[in-house]
Every structure is written in structure tokens, then in C-alpha cells.
Amino acid sequence: MDILINKDISKSLCIPRILDANLDRAKEGLRTIEEWCRFGLENGQLSEKCKQIRQEIACWHSHEIRSARNTLDDPGTVLSHPKEETRESIEHLLQSNLSRVQEALRVLEEYGKLYQVEMGIAFKNIRYQVYILESNLLNFDRYQKLKKSPLYLVTSESKNLLSVVESALKGGVNLVQYRAKNTDDIVRLKIAKDMCQLCHDHNSLFIINDRVDLALAVNADGVHLGQQDMPISLARQILGPNRIIGRSTNNPEEMAQAINQGADYIGVGPVYTTPTKPEKIPVGLEYVDYARNNSSIPWFAIGGIDQDNINKVITAGAKQVAVVRAIMNAENPTTIAKELLKKLTIN
């Protein structure tokens, strides 16, 4: 058939050019990711993994393949797309480059089969290494943000919910939990999508209260579970290894259980009486002090904490605090968030 290309011509001209372009694309994408692992996350293990994969790819970039390059006559050099011209956030940058690397590796795997049998096999293995790298990178990045978030906003019902959350984000909050017990699912889904996007636009984590299904549906960073919600092991099975799972705890026994079951963080409280959970008896500052000395994972003091009592909570040992009304009911959420953060970071 006329559409069939002569095998010798294909190998001597076209295939090496395809391989050359995609070898460069894969290495460039990996180097971009590597720089963030090195300087942004300051994680030597992830940085070294990027370097190792990049060097494996470079071993296949032979003189023969490089010699086939013809940039001047390449029609692809003038092609572009508006989405390639901007990056909205670090997450967007990383995801774009991970996708770029994975696409290039698939091309190298398929055309490598025509060029050299071993090449196709090698790039199949490298492609799976990049999938694992992606999972580890997403997991590490989320967990690092979690550990570095002193102020956690848990939402309550509000006529201007998204505006309040945006104001809090502008004030420095970088961890938000959407909690809506009495909202219809169709409304909750819409709000969750908008709030998730808002948080990610501000490079902040977004957590869904209780609902694992909604967390998946809107690509939330994780879910927060109460004591009466599904087991952590089942939530992990549904969510996978790369999303955050938090658990409310009210005493040392519940803390130990949550840690043993694999929670990424715990809530410690309610420290004071709170209308959010009126049925709960306050645990006081004693449990906060216990958490300081016994929790091996990040923990957030929660329950009735505001500007008037936060210093006592900090003195008891809390470095991370979750608030509801202190910000949700504030006239100026941005100002209150800044003031609370100032107290948390000074101590």
C-alpha cells in the first residue's frame, strides 16, 4: 500500500528524529521536576530519583539518534497552545511536566520497538518508574504542606462561604476543610469543586469532611473522618496512598488507635466547648499537653479556639491549631487569620 513507509527509510530518517525529540522532551521534563524536588521540597531522595531516571534515559541518546536532528525543518517548533504559555501554580507546573515525561516515554517505548527491541523494553520499565515517582512526589508534597500548616480552617455554614474562605487564604491559611453536614449533595458537590479550585489556586490543601466519595469526585487532597465514620483502612483503600486522611480524637486511646491505623494527622479536642459539636465534653488543655508528648504524627488542637484563648493552647503545647468560628464569623477573616498565624509562629 502507498501509505506504507519503506522500513529502511523509516529507520534511517524518521524514527531517529522521533526518538531524539522525545528523549529531549523526557529529560527536560524530568530536570524541571528534579529542580523542585531539590530546591522546593529540599528532598534529596526524590531529587536523586529524578536524576537517576534522567541518566537512564540519556544512555539511549546515542550519536546516531542525535545526528538525525533537523530543527530547521521541524514543523513542530512553531506549534503551541495557550495552556503551554502559562503555569497557574507549582502543582500545575509539576503535573504538566509529569504528563510531558510520561507521554514522551510512551512514544520512546513504541518507536523504540522499531529501532531496537531492547529500547522498547527499557522505556516500558522507565515509564513505570515515573508513575511511582509521581505518586511519591504528590504524597510527599501534600504531607510537607500538612506539617507546615499552623492554622487549619474548618468551614461552617455561611451565605458568603467562598468569599470567607478566600479571605482566609489571603490571610495565610493554607489548609481548609469543607464541612457541611446539612447541605444537599448536589449543592455540596458544586461548592466543593469551587472551594477545591480556590484552595489550589492559593497553593493550599483542601480536605473534605466525612465524604470519601466527594473527596475523590473533586480531586481534594484528602478527607477528615470522625470516630463514627468509616475505618481509616477502608478510606485508604478507596482514596489510594497519595491523599491525606485525618481522624478526630478525644482521648489518648483514640489517638493511639488513629496512629496505628495509619492516619496522616489527628484532631485533638474539643479543647473548649463548641457549638460545632455540642454533644462533646471538652477535653481541656490536658489532652493538648498529652498530644505534645505522645503524638508521632501532625496534630491540630481544635474546639472553641479563638483569639482570646489561643495563647493558652499554644502554651499547652499546640503548634498547629484548627478553628471554625474564629474565622468563619469574623468581620474581616483576612485580618483574623493573620493575627492567629502571628501568635502561632511567634511562639
> pLDDT for 47-87, tens place per residue?
999 999 999 999 999 999 999 887 776 676 655 555 556 77
**Rounded Cα–Cα distance for residues 333 and 202 (Å):** 16
Tens of pLDDT, residue by residue over 126-143, are 999 999 999 888 888 899
- The three cell numbers of residue 310 are 489561643
Query: Do both 120 and 187 map to the same domain?
Result: no
DSSP class per residue in 212-262: HHHHHHTT-SEEEE-TTS--HHHHHHHH-TTSEEEEEESSHHHHHHHHHTT
- Residue 41's pLDDT is 85
Output the domain CATH number for residue 172: 3.20.20.70
Give yes or no: residues 181 and 139 share one domain: no
Helix (H, G, I), strand (E, B) or coil at 197: helix
Number of domains in the chain: 2
pLDDT tens digits, residue range 151-192? 999 999 999 999 999 999 999 999 999 999 888 999 999 999
Do 201 and 126 lie in one domain? The reply is no
> What would the DSSP string read from start to end of 115-144?
H-HHHHHHHHHHHHHHHHHHHHHHHHHHHH
What is the extent of the structural domain holding 106?
Answer: 7-144
Q: Which residue, 117, 144, 171, sits at the end of a domain?
A: 144
In a domain, 101, yes or no: yes
Q: Any idea which residues carry the catalytic annotation?
A: 179, 248, 277
Is residue 59, in this structure, part of any structural domain at all?
yes
Higher confidence at residue 6 or residue 248? 248
Average pLDDT over all residues of the chain = 91
CB 58 within 8 A of CB 137: no
Note the pLDDT of residue 141. Answer: 84
- Above 70 in pLDDT, residue 288? yes
Q: What angle do CA 178, 158, 192 make, to 5 degrees?
A: 30
